[in-house]
Amino acid sequence: MADRHNLKNPAVKRILQEVKEMQENPSDDFMTLPLEDNILEWQFAIRGPSDTEFEGGIYHGRIQLPAEYPFQPPSFMLLTPNGRFETQTKICLSISNHHPEHWQPSWSVRTALTH
């Protein structure tokens, strides 16, 4: 993946580090990777949290990272109907671009998915 991207770009460098970290340390609760043709757009699948009405479900979504990542927060969209968020619509989370004042550059895609 690295050979197709400008490694001098801080966002690209950070994203590639995150991809590597997630490949080396996968989660039991989610799976995520950027699209092959757009490193700023990620697809994810996440398990519904235990002891909730979402337990047992697998929810698919999209993360859009800004060109200024990690200094600006990502946006999130769920693609699977879930009864809480409208599908195909950016969702309002405290760690999303709806609330950039809460975002910390030390956070990662993993942080966002486990928040």
* CATH code of the domain containing 56: 3.10.110.10
> Domain containing 13: what range?
2-114
User: What is the rounded distance in angstroms from the CA atom of residue 45 to the CA atom of residue 53?
Assistant: 17
At residue 1, does pLDDT exceed 80? no
Look up residue 49 and give its DSSP letter: P
Could you report the per-residue pLDDT of 43-76, keeping only the tens digit for each?
Answer: 999 998 889 888 898 999 999 999 999 999 999 9
User: What is the pTM for the complete model shown?
Assistant: 0.84
92 assigned to active site: yes
Answer with the residue of higher pLDDT: 82 or 45: 45
Show the tokens assigned to 21.
Answer: 């970290």
Tokens, residue 74: 């990502």
The yes-or-no verdict on residue 16 having pLDDT over 90 is yes
**Candidate list 7, 41, 92, 104, residue with the active-site label:** 92
Q: What is the pLDDT of residue 4?
A: 62
The domain total for the chain is 1
